[in-house]
Amino acid sequence: MDYTFFQHYWWFVISLLGGILVFLLFVQGGQTLIHQVGKTALEQTVLINALGRKWEFTFTTLVTFGGALFAAFPLYYAVSFGGAYWLWMLILFCFIIQAVSYEFRSQKGNLYGKRTYELFLIINGIGGIILLGVAVGLFFSGGEFVVSRGNLTNPGNPVITTWGNAWRGLEAITQPLNLLLGLSLFFLARTQAALYFINSIDNEAIRIRSRHQVLVNAVPFLILFLGFLFFLLRSSGYTYDPIDKIQLSLNTFHYAFSFLDMPVVLLMLIIGTGLLLGGIFLTCFNPAFKKGIWFSGCGTVLAVTAILLVAGWNHSAFFPSRIDPSSSLTIANASSSLFTLKVMSIVSLLIPFVMLYIFKVWNVINKTPLTEAEIQGNDHSY
């Protein structure tokens, strides 16, 4: 197992974490459905409590996704976060306000009223997802940055990365591929949230309205996702020379060919999308079917992992520079040292154990669907 193996392995771990994160964004999606699915104050409280028992998983996955990127690909961390400053800052603001909203919403003395915290949840649900999607879209569309490691020898300005415009990442919102990804993630999260409500809340009115929301949100998701795939598959992309790992060349239809070069990844995308659509289809057309979230969840993880794999594998530049192609980041030039990747890989062998106890606890909490009576009888409810 050489350096290349570990670089690929860590891109896989990042992609998998990204896939799990997108699945868990159903929490954010659900936050935007509270007033559409819940018509009474109690119903809304039930919905918030159903989501509130999961929000920390999403948050933790986001933090781990960031931490793993920092550890495995520190140059990306430096270039993207230090460059697309405003894009990331807006994402962070969307997430800070979420963290407190569940706990503070129904507490007496929360100063700003229940509605304010619900508004925070909606801002997080819309802004957080769309902007995160835009930021991930940069893996394909690229950013306006230059990397000059030699700057470190210039005591007057030792900063090795510069961003090419004053918009600091906000310009990424105007790029169709990024926006399509952000919007499709938004509708996907809403669809999955509705599936989650059906599975985890024992309330017929909520189930009926959720079932309606599955269909209402799945249609725009599908249109936007196909639009994203269309842009992606016809996009050009940079690849690095597998021998010297430095020379970059531009290839037309790069991502389409990459899927064809990696049939297993293509299969993951197809199976993932199939499972996702299957979960939606079964839920919409079989009123007794409540397990749609598990199908769509597994499908989302598979499909998103496949899309992220194609960004970094097959010698692709996973963060192309739009103003200086030679500065583009690849898993070969942006990764940590072999030693660090090896240490982290040993540590990562324990991840299945972590997933096992998460699964166990998830099952314990969701063993019986949430009811209004449980919320009213629980001292710690949101």
Partner 1 sequence: MDEIPFSLVDLSRAQFALTAMYHWLFVPLTLGLGLIIAIMETLYYKTGNPEWKRTTQFWMKLFGVNFAIGIATGLILEFEFGTNWSNYSWFVGDIFGAPLAIEGIFAFFMESTFITIMFFGWNKVGKGFHLASTWLTVAGATLSALWILVANAWMQFPDGMVFNPDTMRNEMADFWAVLLSPVAINKFMHTVFSCWIVGGAFCLGVSAWFLLKGKEKELSLKSIRIAAIVGFMGAALTALTGDGSAQQVALRQPMKLAAMEGLYEGKSNAGLVAFGVLNPAKKTYNDSIDPFLAKIEIPGMLSLLSFRDVTAFVPGISDIMKGGFEQRAFDGTSHTALSAENRMIKGKEAIAALSAYRKAKSEHNDSLAALHKEALEINYPHFGYGFLPSKDAIIPPVPLVFYAFHLMVILGLFFLGIFLLTGYLSWKKSLHTYRWLLWLSVLGIPLVWLCSECGWVVAEVGRQPWVIQDIMPTYAAVSNLDTKSVIITFCLFALLFTGLLAAEVSILVKQIRKGPQEIH
Residues 134-163 that bind partner 1 (CB under 8 A): 149-163
According to the binding rule CB under 8 A, does residue 363 interact with partner 1? no
Interface stretch with partner 1, choices 20-28, 74-82, 260-268, 307-315 (CB under 8 A) = 74-82
Among candidate residues 69, 23, 11, 3, the one with its CA nearest the CA of residue 355: 23
Q: Any residues with CB less than 8 A from the CB of 291 and at least 6 apart, and which?
A: 199, 279
Rounded CA-CA distance 126/118 in Å is 12
Interface stretch with partner 1, choices 24-32, 282-290, 308-316, 354-362 (CB under 8 A) = 354-362
**Shortest spacing between CB 272 and partner 1, in angstroms:** 23
**Shortest spacing between CB 74 and partner 1, in angstroms:** 3
Backbone angles phi, psi at 350, to 5 degrees: -85, -5
**Shortest spacing between CB 260 and partner 1, in angstroms:** 33
Structure tokens at 227: 């639009």
By CB under 8 A, what part of segment 35-54 binds partner 1? 53
Contact status, residue 132 vs residue 185, Cβ threshold 8 Å: yes
**Shortest spacing between CB 94 and partner 1, in angstroms:** 11
Rounded CA-CA distance 285/305 in Å is 28
Closest to partner 1 by CB, 74 or 274: 74
According to the binding rule CB under 8 A, does residue 246 interact with partner 1? no
Given 4, 8, 89, 118, the residue binding partner 1 (CB under 8 A): 89
**Shortest spacing between CB 162 and partner 1, in angstroms:** 5
According to the binding rule CB under 8 A, does residue 376 interact with partner 1? no
Interface stretch with partner 1, choices 79-87, 126-134, 188-196, 295-303 (CB under 8 A) = 79-87
According to the binding rule CB under 8 A, does residue 220 interact with partner 1? no
By CB under 8 A, what part of segment 323-352 binds partner 1? 336-337, 339-340, 343-344, 347-348, 350-351
Given 24, 97, 248, 265, the residue binding partner 1 (CB under 8 A): 97
**Shortest spacing between CB 348 and partner 1, in angstroms:** 7
Given 40, 60, 174, 247, the residue binding partner 1 (CB under 8 A): 60
What is the radius of gyration, based on Cα positions, of the chain?
21
Given 23, 102, 228, 231, the residue binding partner 1 (CB under 8 A): 102
**Shortest spacing between CB 374 and partner 1, in angstroms:** 8
By CB under 8 A, what part of segment 222-241 binds partner 1? none
According to the binding rule CB under 8 A, does residue 263 interact with partner 1? no
- As a whole number of Å, the end-to-end CA separation of the chain is 49
Given 4, 44, 64, 165, the residue binding partner 1 (CB under 8 A): 64
